[in-house]
Amino acid sequence: MSLKEVDSTNTFLKNILSNSKPVPEGTVIMAEDQFAGRGQRDNTWYAEPGKNLTFSILLNPTFLSAQQQFDLTRAISMGVYDALYPLLRDNLKIKWPNDIYHGDAKLGGMLIENILQGNHIKHSIIGIGLNVNQKSFPPGAVNATSIKKILQRDYELKNILAEICNHIEAYYLHLKAGRIDFVRNLYLSRLYWLNEQRRFKSNGDIFKGVIKNVEPAGMLVINKSGLEERYNLKEIEFLN
């Protein structure tokens, strides 16, 4: 379904589900304009109306336990990555946990909101924002880019959406078939700054370290002065 304007496609899907209306698995809600798009860490997500992809997909991965939520994040990140790889090639990376990067600039991100039932995921609302045809970005904290800025031409949003959905489906089926290690290994191999000596900030402390791994549940493992330290999203910042 394509909406002209909505607060947030994630919120839209959440509201339908909370009214106990049945929504078929695989439903995609896209919006030309989101006036209250939400990002990670309670950020807002801004996208120029009509230029970019802002959409949410409903999945019901009841076969995943609460402890496996990060495997879904990996699968979705890899789906987006593979869909864009033919266009953007090796400059494309996944910045932990699930940002899509080209070089050192952010091309897109995702907000995955899982609704749990007991120890299993009942519904997963997968919100994806991808900068496609936007030419300029307001000066802000994040160094943003778009496919147009990189490749100097416009792209049909619906075509890119279809590619992303197809690749996400493929990775979803890998998870469903239990090919968890396959997804984990691919995700790790596509990580931004993997095995590179870089600067990070945690708890006010700026240090050099090397990303070595992502634990099954999603904690980032950084080798800091010979010791392996683990961080969650709120505990670590990447410093360029």
Site residues for ligand BTN per CB under 6 A: 8-10, 34, 37-40, 43, 45, 54-56, 99, 109-111, 127-129
197-202 vs 120-130, strand pairing mode: unpaired
Count of beta carbons in the 10 Å neighbourhood of residue 133 = 19
Of 23 and 180, the one with the shorter C-beta distance to ligand BTN is 23
Q: Residue 18: what are its φ and ψ, rounded to 5°?
A: -75, -15
- Asked if 80 and 53 count as a contact pair (C-beta separation under 8 A), the reply is no
Of 71 and 99, the one with the shorter C-beta distance to ligand BTN is 99
CB of 178 to ligand BTN, least distance (A): 28
- From CA 17, how far away is CA 145, in angstroms rounded? 33
CB of 57 to ligand BTN, least distance (A): 10
Of 41 and 153, the one with the shorter C-beta distance to ligand BTN is 41
CB of 205 to ligand BTN, least distance (A): 24
CB of 83 to ligand BTN, least distance (A): 16
Of 110 and 186, the one with the shorter C-beta distance to ligand BTN is 110
- Asked if 94 and 191 count as a contact pair (C-beta separation under 8 A), the reply is yes
- Position closest to ligand BTN via CB: 109
E strands present in the chain: 2-6, 28-34, 53-59, 92-95, 99-102, 105-117, 120-130, 197-202, 205-214, 220-224, 227-231, 237-239
Of 110 and 121, the one with the shorter C-beta distance to ligand BTN is 110
Q: Residue 150: what are its φ and ψ, rounded to 5°?
A: -80, -45
Neighbour-count burial of 64, counting CB atoms closer than 10 A to its CB (0-12 exposed, 13-18 middle, 19+ buried): buried
Of 111 and 175, the one with the shorter C-beta distance to ligand BTN is 111
CB of 107 to ligand BTN, least distance (A): 10
The single residue listed with the structure tokens 């995700």 is 187
CB of 31 to ligand BTN, least distance (A): 7
